Copies of this chain bind each other. A is one copy, B any other.
Amino acid sequence: MTSQPSTPRSRRERPAKSALTHAGIVSTAVRLMESEGLQRVTMRRLAQELDTGPASLYVYVANTAELHAAILEALLGAVDLAPVGARGDWRERLLRVLGSYVEVLFAHPGLARSALVARPSGPHYLALVEGILGLLHEGGVPDAQAAWGVDVLLQVATATAAEQSTRAQSPTADDEHDALTAVLREAPAGVYPRIAALGDDLVSGTPEQRFAWIFRAVINGTKTTPRETS
């Protein structure tokens, strides 16, 4: 935030206006997201940050979705693929990798939702896929099942993070969740016997407890479900 003595006449308190590049745009976008949230990372707002007009960005980025995917790819560098305390079996370590992924998404509201739509395809994403495949292999999961299972695991992790972060983000979303909870609790037993029978169990547990069970269930299903139908 201090002015640069080497460029005395810069009009703004910004690093000298660097040439526009894909990398420069993405790193500015990440900074902007960190400070103002993904919802402010628009082509117009980002262009303003880079001291140019929105049209200039289209030379490097095809559209807003691609921009958001590039941000996610950059953030994925923070996923811990080999947790230090990882002395448990493969299942335990896989749980931690997925947990680390969810944490990264959860730390940036909005990112998970965009990740459900536009998946990245950079080296960090590949490393995450490779890490998961390695653990499934170590666990003796047949290749064909691991190949499809990695997708499900990432999908569930992403969707779970999206749901949680949407709720954490907006008080309206929280109200909606409370409404759903109330509706489930009050469902008449005559029309909805199973909902009534399960009662609070449908909405029980902390997010962490639900995460842990969900991941274990999907990992188990992946390991035990053959690809060919019997």
> How far apart sit A116 and B173, CA to CA, in the bound complex (Å)?
12
A116 to B118, CA, bound (A): 14
Contact B194 A130, beta carbon cutoff 8 Å? yes
Q: CB distance A152 to B217 under 8 Å? A: yes
Is A3 located at the chain interface by the 8 A CB criterion?
Answer: no
Interchain CB contact (< 8 A) of A148 among B176, B184, B197, B205: B205
On chain A, the number of residues with a Cβ less than 8 Å from chain B's Cβ atoms is 70
Complex contact A217–B213 (CB within 8 A): no
Number of copies: 2
CB distance from A24 to the nearest CB of B (A): 22
A residues whose Cβ falls under 8 Å from a Cβ of B: 62-63, 65-66, 69, 113, 116-119, 121, 126-127, 129-130, 133-134, 137, 143-152, 155-156, 158-160, 162-163, 166, 172-173, 176, 179-180, 183-184, 187, 191-195, 197-198, 201-202, 204-205, 210, 212-214, 216-222, 224-225, 227, 229
Q: Which 7 A-B pairs have the closest CB atoms?
A: A221-B221, A217-B221, A133-B194, A217-B225, A147-B201, A121-B180, A220-B221
